[in-house]
Structures are given as structure tokens and as C-alpha cells.
Structure 1
Amino acid sequence: MNIFNDLLEGKENISVIGLGYVGMPIAVAFAKKINVIGFDLNEQKIEMYKSGVDPTNEIGNKAISETTVSFTSDETRLKDSKFHVVAVPTPINSDKTPNLSPVIGASKIIGRNLTKGSIVVYESTVYPGVTEDICIPILEKESGLKCGIDFKVGYSPERINPGDKVHTLDSIIKIVSGVDSESLDEISKVYELVIEAGIHKASSIKVAEAAKVVENSQRDINIAFMNELAMVFDRMDINTNDVVAAMNTKWNALGFHPGLVGGHCIGVDPYYFVYEAERLGYHSQIVLSGRKINDNMGEFIADAIIKKLITTNKVVKNAKVAILGVTFKENCPDTRNSKVIDIVDRLNEYEINPVIVDPYADQKEAYNEYGIELADINNLTDVDCLVFAVAHNEFKSMDLDEIDNLMKEGPNQEKIIVDVKSLFNQKELENLGYTYWSL
């Protein structure tokens, strides 16, 4: 196969299918070296990209307006490509089972437009076996071509950390795999164009698929351990962060902290692992237990809010609670699988409808996804309980005067601050008389 050389010489194109938090940075990076077709079914998103707007905030409007990526929602344009990168989301269903609809749909689209001599590389997170057992048969059926003879397939798990401006696409080692040695070498050379950190060649596609779900399951388990400690230390009246700070003085401490675990990776990938393990007759114990702990943290935080309302003699039903942040992580507009919503849902059970503020989240997306209307912090007043749920820079930089201006007038001990991300100094606030709680 000579796709790599043809790409360098401009004789062939690479296509990226799915232009979200993962696909867009990949497309823009490749476009600096070779010709790129960026495909997405969302016509509105395509028009935004064409007009130089980056709704993901991953690379910024300037980079979008300057890129040479050819944006399109016309699937027939994929016929002009010989190297396809699939970067569609792989969420979970309401019963926590994998939702493979996006990757299946993408496979059908590519299959309909696949030409001989092409390579298809999947980056979407899946459990081991999906690429070869589900995706390849679809590609073959739709195209009438035979994998290994007429086209090749590989898997290279995405490792982008949304909102992270340090660990960017080019600085993260890229795992690559292929159906055979020829495709593996070709895929590796293509990715080496944009990955400065280097390439790790996995021994098989299943190994590469497993590496992705396992690395995020590992993080999930470690955070679950810290969350369990936080729940116990709360009963012991011990500040968890003080314990973590002391523990982290040892050279081999891992540096994890308690918190809400949502998003499209850590909050999802373990369920892909568990699903396939149980399908094969093994009931996960550690991975599933960690996931259950993390899934319950929203309720735990909401219950802590209720307890503080009660201990400050407030009428719970009439209390005004404001939640700062609804995205799944700081300085990122992504609201997918946000665990802040679990806090909201739990408070709703007590007939509390919290006011939610987030300078990053998209108003329309938040309403369509969760039925919530975002408020402007400049209009926020008379708050009984202020919840710092996401560590956006705008919230971290708030001083005590700004915080106090949001609160209801009265004695400080009646003003509740719930600091999920431990942004502020507990002793300083308590010395001023505030009622303070942190995870």
C-alpha cells in the first residue's frame, strides 16, 4: 500500500468522520500536512466550522478559520478519500449498556462510499472485538469489498482530554493497530505526521481496544477510592483534602482527588469493559463497584446540601440554591454525561429547583439535554446556598466580596458554601462565619 506517499504528494485525501471534541483537533492537525475532508451529519455544526466558529473550544475560532479542512455533510465526498478516521461518540444506554449506534451508523456511511485500496481507522471507544466483529462486517456488506484484500482496517483509540491545553493531541503517545502488518505500518506512518510524542504499535486490534477502556477504568477506580474515603471522612468530620495533602507527600502517592466523574470517557468506558466481561460470563467486581460509587456521588453531595440547609434553620422547600457549573469538567463546554445533573435531580426530590450558572455551557444544548435553563451570574442574588460544582477559571478567581454579593443578606453563619472542587480555604471562610462544606 502506498497511501502514505499519495497523501504526502496530495494525490489522495484523508477523511475524518465525526467532528466533535476528538475529530476536530485530528482533522485540523492533519490539514497542516495533507488534504483533509471533515465530515459530520450535523449540518448546523458544519456551517459553524465553515464560518470559523469552534463550538467545542478545543482549538479556537482562529484555528478553525485558518484551517484548510474541507467541511461537508455530504457523505459522497468520502469517495474522494483513501484513509478514513472514525471519531464518532460511543455513549451508553439508560441501562448502562454500550450504545454502538453512532459507530454502526458511521460504518454504514463509510461502507457505502468505500473504494478499493482504502484504510479505515476507528478511534471511537469500544469494547474489545467491536472493530473486527461488528464494524468490518458492516463495511464489507455496504461496500461489497473484502477486508484484508480490497481494504484494510485499524484501531487507534482517542486519548484527547477535552479542555486540556497541556496534554494536546500531538503530545500524547498514540496507540495504533491494524488487521495485518502492512496496514499497521501504513497507519503508523500517517499518524506520525501529527503525533510528536511517538507511536505505540499494539500487537492486535483487540489489544488496542482493551487499552482504551482499561486506562479509563483504572482512573475511575482510583477516583472511586478517593470518593469512598471522602464519604467516610465526612462522617468522621475530617477534611479529605487535608488527608490527601498529607498522603501525597510520599513519593509513590498517585495524586487522585475525590470528585464527580462524568463526561464521555471515564464515566462511560468502564461500562464497555463490564458489558463484554459479563457477556463472557465474568461478573466484574472492582470495576463495577468503582463505577457505582462514582455514580452515587451526585446524590451524596445533594444530601450534604440538604443537611446544611437544615442545620442553618432554613426552610428546605423554599431555599434558594445556586449551582456554579454544569459541564462535566472545568473550562470546557461539554455537558455530556455531566454528574452535576445528579445533584440537580436529587434536589428536585426535595422540591428545590436550583439556579444553574455556567459561562461555558451552551444554553440550547443544556436545555435540550437536561431541560435546564442557565442563568446569568450577574443576575444572581439572595442565594441561601452557593454550590461550586465545576472549577471554571471564572469561579476559581472569585473573591469573598463577589461571593458575598450573591448571598442573601443576614448573618454569615446562615450563608452556606458547598465547595465540591475545594477551591477555597475552609478555615478562612469558617473564621468569617460562613457555613462551609467540601467533598
Structure 2
Amino acid sequence: MFEALQQRKKKISVIGLGYVGLPLALEFARDFEVIGFDISEDRVALMKQGIDPSEELDSTAFDNKRITFTADPAMLKDAHFHIVAVPTPVNESKVPNLSPVLSASHAVGKALKKGDYVIFESTVYPGCTEEDCLPILEAESGLKLGTDFKIGYSPERINPGDKERTIDKILKIVSGSDEEALAEIAKTYGAIITAGIYQAPSIKVAEAAKVIENTQRDLNISFVNELAIIFDKMGIDTNQVLDAAATKWNFIKFTPGLVGGHCIGVDPYYLTHKAKQLGYDPQVILSGRRINDGMPGFIAKRLVQMLIQKGKNPGNCKVLIMGITFKENVADIRNSKVAELAREIMQFSINVHITDPHASPNEVAKEYKLTLVDNISDDYDAVLVAVNHNEYKAYDMGYFKSICKTDPVIMDIKGVYPAPEGAGITYWRL
């Protein structure tokens, strides 16, 4: 397979051209013939113009690339090495929503030919590729794994907003349905990944490795979030405690905050879902999830307490929230905990304004039924800096005083600013 791809006798298809799929497709398109498929015709139209709908890549990333963008699944029949990179969210009940990856499996299965490869990159629970996706591929194609085609799993490790650790500079895990598949998949990815390839012993191991990467981060953040709640009750600055503890050589420093996005706040539910199917009720993982999911409510209640302590009626207050994307310097609003924070605050009849230099007002309105303000006013009772965008780092307490009423509350959720002294501001951070 690799030799035929290298000689451009066969093509690679990438199904799903979001934050993961598009950078991957363009990287492969440096040296291979690529078909980039997405179900959104609007997104495809933008990519044909050299525009990344996710606003992660600039137009030069599209230059001199051997890629055909399409929303027509019939074109997948022209490819032989299929990579599925569609999102895998959870529903409102925190149950994995496999609809995108299963739909992609149907589309690829209809295009599958003898000798083809199918590699999944979407985050799933261990066993999903072989137990849920493979039967669809076989049913749609009438072909059999091993005899007619091969499969693999290579977990995505894209870090949105990171301009240094780009896709080629992040070590890639690969796995295959047999030794030949593993070798060919490793060589194909190895042609574009300069950081190296790690060959996992099985597809399930590769799936599990991916899902625990973000589960581990989720648990570490939940620990410091719980510390932040405890230290807030004690009147201790959490950042100062973490700085002091970090002087020990084996202390791993994590910082508190809102845990959203399409990875850390989602992936643990894939693992716990599978564990429950097997009769085991996870304790530690779900405990961490409860803490992180509860942070918007904790911050909202803390804000209301501070306003009341100032003698203000929350129902007569106006609050500005700065930032709604799931992390700094990206346009991605998926699973935004800031949106949840805004709703929690609104439950106290507080007038909430939201601003963000990176988020699309249309996407925010569509996804969360929330409106981004065009102009920041000068009469806020409180400001919550929820995301540490670079644009916000240049601000100081003087700026916040200029947009607020006398003696405002400034909630620095990400700890962007040094604590002011005698600035006529009530400053709070996690």
C-alpha cells in the first residue's frame, strides 16, 4: 500500500475536515494524492478557496497541495487509504454519541474495495473500531477483514491553537489489524510525522492510550479545582500555594479552571461508558468529572456572594464575561464551559454581556443561543476574564476600572493578572 501511495498510484482520503482532519489532509497532500471529504458543503466551499473554517490554518497551508475537497461521498471510491477523523461528542446525558463515526463507517464501507485500508483517528472507547465500526464496513462493502481489506487506529493528538507542536512534530501512535497492516500504516504516517511513530501492539491498546491521555489531565485539573474551592473558603490564594508546592522536584503543577472543549471534557465519558457496560462503576474518573462539570456553578455562586457583600442586588447588576471559546487563542466553542457559566449567572437575573475576539457570533448564537456584544460599555458591576486570550493579557486593572462602576468585582478565572493592591477593585481568582 505505502509504495503505491508514494508513487501516487493510489490515493488517501480523509473523512471529516475539522480541527483534526484538515491539518492531517494538508500534511499528507505535500507528498500524496489526497481526497478531503466533509459532509458540510459550506465548509468544503471555503476550503476550495484556501480558507480554514476553523481559523487554525492560514491560506499558505493550502499552497501547492495535491488535494481535492469534496462533499460527495461517491468520490471516496477513488481512494484506497481511508482516514476517519470525525468528531465523537457526548449527548446531554454524557453518553457517547457515535453517530458521526458510524455514519462515516457507512460512507467508507460503500466505497471500500479489495486491498483498501481504513484507519480511524476519532477518539472512542477501547473496542469501538473492531466491535462497532468494522461490522458496518463489512456489511456495506460485502468484504471481509484480513482477506479483502485491513483496518487500523491512530489516535489524533492535535492541539488547537498550538503553533509550535504542529501535527508533524507530535509523536504518532499507530496500530493495525495484523502485522502487515501495522507496518504499512506506520510507513504511511511516518512519511509525514517527523517526531516519530509508536507502534501499539493492538488496536484496543491504541484506543485506550488515547482516551486515558485526556482522562489523566481531567483528573489532575479536577484535583486543583477542588483545592481552589477549599482554599477559597480558607481565604488562601491557590496560585500562591501551587507556586510554593512546585518548588519540590516531583510536584506536577496543574492550574485550576474551566474544563471544556472536545477532548478533556468529553473523552473520560467514553471510558466510563465502556466500563459500565462491562459491569464496573468507575469512581475516581467520574468524581473528577463531577468537580470539573460543577465549576461554572461554583464560580457563578461565588460572584453573587461577592456582589451581595457589596450591598448590590444581583438582579440590578450588569456583568461582562470576556472569552467564550474553550481555550485561549482559538475559535473553537465546542463544549464551552463559559457558556454554562453565563447561563448559571443569568439564573440570578443578572444582565450578562459576553465578548470574544476569536469566536464567531453566528456559531455562538446557533450553538448556545447566546449573543456576543459588539461594544463594551462602561457600567459593569463585575468582569469575568474566563479565557486567557493574548488580546486580554495586555489589559491592566486601570482598564477594568474604566469599564466598570465604582469598586467592581474582577474575577480572573485563569489567573492572568497579578493581584492588585489598593486599586479600588475586589479581585478574585481560582
After TM superposition, the score normalised by the length of structure 2 is 0.98
Q: Within 5 Å, which residues of 2 pair with 1:130-141? A: 130-141=128-139
How far 1:222 moved relative to its partner? 0.5
- Partner of residue 92 from structure 2, selected from 94, 114, 123: 94
Equivalence for 1:23:
21
Report whether the alignment pairs 1:36 with 2:34. Answer: yes
Query: C-alpha root-mean-square deviation of aligned residues, in Å?
Result: 1.1
Q: Quote the Cα distance in structure 1 between the aligned partners of 2:351 and 2:320.
A: 9
3-state SS of paired residue (1:379) = coil
Q: Quote the Cα distance in structure 2 between the aligned partners of 1:307 and 1:254.
A: 32
- Partner of residue 436 from structure 1, selected from 422, 427, 430: 427
Instruction: Work out whether residues 31 and 66 of structure 2, in 8 Å CA contact, stay in contact via their aligned partners in 1.
Output: no
Q: Quote the Cα distance in structure 1 between the aligned partners of 2:397 and 2:292.
A: 31
Q: Within 5 Å, which residues of 2 pair with 1:174-213? A: 174-213=172-211
Deviations 1:3-57 (A, max 9, x none): 1111111111101000000001101111111111100000000011111211212
Deviations 1:102-125 (A, max 9, x none): 000000001111111100000000
After TM superposition, the score normalised by the length of structure 1 is 0.96
3-state SS of paired residue (2:217) = helix
- Partner of residue 257 from structure 1, selected from 249, 255, 258: 255
Aligned residues: 430
Report whether the alignment pairs 1:416 with 2:413. Answer: no
3-state SS of paired residue (1:334) = coil
Deviations 1:312-366 (A, max 9, x none): 2222001000000000000010000011122112112111231000111111110
Equivalence for 1:324:
322
How far 1:388 moved relative to its partner? 0.2
Structure 1 residues 385 and 158 mapped into 2: Cα distance closer, same or farther (>3 Å)? same
Q: Residue type of the partner of 2:423?
A: L
Q: Quote the Cα distance in structure 1 between the aligned partners of 2:403 and 2:36.
A: 44
Q: Quote the Cα distance in structure 2 between the aligned partners of 1:27 and 1:302.
A: 41
Equivalence for 1:399:
396
Q: Residue type of the partner of 1:87?
A: A
Q: Quote the Cα distance in structure 1 between the aligned partners of 2:193 and 2:377.
A: 45
| Runs of 4+ with >4 A deviation | none
Q: Quote the Cα distance in structure 1 between the aligned partners of 2:351 and 2:398.
A: 25
How far 1:389 moved relative to its partner? 0.1
Q: Quote the Cα distance in structure 2 between the aligned partners of 1:168 and 1:209.
A: 21
Q: Quote the Cα distance in structure 2 between the aligned partners of 1:373 and 1:21.
A: 24
3-state SS of paired residue (2:80) = strand
Instruction: Work out whether residues 275 and 281 of structure 2, in 8 Å CA contact, stay in contact via their aligned partners in 1.
Output: yes
Q: Quote the Cα distance in structure 2 between the aligned partners of 1:304 and 1:33.
A: 54
3-state SS of paired residue (2:51) = coil
How far 1:66 moved relative to its partner? 5.0
Q: Quote the Cα distance in structure 1 between the aligned partners of 2:382 and 2:102.
A: 45
Report whether the alignment pairs 1:381 with 2:383. Answer: no
Q: Quote the Cα distance in structure 2 between the aligned partners of 1:15 and 1:307.
A: 54
- Partner of residue 276 from structure 1, selected from 255, 274, 277: 274
Q: Quote the Cα distance in structure 2 between the aligned partners of 1:52 and 1:152.
A: 33
Equivalence for 1:334:
332
Q: Quote the Cα distance in structure 1 between the aligned partners of 2:103 and 2:79.
A: 18
Q: Within 5 Å, which residues of 2 pair with 1:78-93? A: 78-93=76-91
Q: Residue type of the partner of 2:323?
A: G
Q: Residue type of the partner of 2:32?
A: I
Q: Quote the Cα distance in structure 2 between the aligned partners of 1:13 and 1:405.
A: 58
Instruction: Work out whether residues 50 and 65 of structure 1, in 8 Å CA contact, stay in contact via their aligned partners in 2.
Output: no
Equivalence for 1:306:
304
Instruction: Work out whether residues 385 and 411 of structure 2, in 8 Å CA contact, stay in contact via their aligned partners in 1.
Output: yes
Q: Residue type of the partner of 1:101?
A: S
Q: Quote the Cα distance in structure 1 between the aligned partners of 2:333 and 2:314.
A: 28
Deviations 1:350-407 (A, max 9, x none): 112310001111111101100011113x433211101000000011111333322221
Q: Quote the Cα distance in structure 1 between the aligned partners of 2:119 and 2:303.
A: 46
Q: Residue type of the partner of 1:340?
A: V
165-174 or 292-301, larger mean C-alpha shift: 165-174
3-state SS of paired residue (1:384) = strand
3-state SS of paired residue (1:200) = strand
Report whether the alignment pairs 1:390 with 2:383. Answer: no
Runs of 5+ consecutive residues of structure 1 not aligned to the other structure: none
Deviations 1:56-89 (A, max 9, x none): 1222232135533211001111111110110000
Q: Quote the Cα distance in structure 2 between the aligned partners of 1:405 and 1:44.
A: 41
Instruction: Work out whether residues 115 and 148 of structure 2, in 8 Å CA contact, stay in contact via their aligned partners in 1.
Output: yes
3-state SS of paired residue (2:380) = coil
Q: Quote the Cα distance in structure 2 between the aligned partners of 1:65 and 1:361.
A: 26
Equivalence for 2:52:
54
Q: Residue type of the partner of 2:413?
A: V
Q: Quote the Cα distance in structure 2 between the aligned partners of 1:251 and 1:101.
A: 45
Q: Residue type of the partner of 2:427?
A: Y
Instruction: Work out whether residues 21 and 85 of structure 2, in 8 Å CA contact, stay in contact via their aligned partners in 1.
Output: yes
Q: Residue type of the partner of 1:405?
A: S
Q: Quote the Cα distance in structure 2 between the aligned partners of 1:130 and 1:365.
A: 30
Q: Residue type of the partner of 1:379?
A: I
Instruction: Work out whether residues 344 and 353 of structure 1, in 8 Å CA contact, stay in contact via their aligned partners in 2.
Output: no
- Aligned-residue identity in percent: 53
Q: Residue type of the partner of 1:415?
A: P
Q: Quote the Cα distance in structure 1 between the aligned partners of 2:352 and 2:376.
A: 14
Runs of 5+ consecutive residues of structure 2 not aligned to the other structure: none
Report whether the alignment pairs 1:231 with 2:224. Answer: no
Q: Quote the Cα distance in structure 2 between the aligned partners of 1:294 and 1:105.
A: 31
Deviations 1:406-427 (A, max 9, x none): 212x3xxx2110000111111x
Instruction: Work out whether residues 20 and 158 of structure 2, in 8 Å CA contact, stay in contact via their aligned partners in 1.
Output: yes
Q: Quote the Cα distance in structure 1 between the aligned partners of 2:109 and 2:390.
A: 44
Instruction: Work out whether residues 53 and 65 of structure 1, in 8 Å CA contact, stay in contact via their aligned partners in 2.
Output: no
Q: Quote the Cα distance in structure 2 between the aligned partners of 1:172 and 1:52.
A: 24
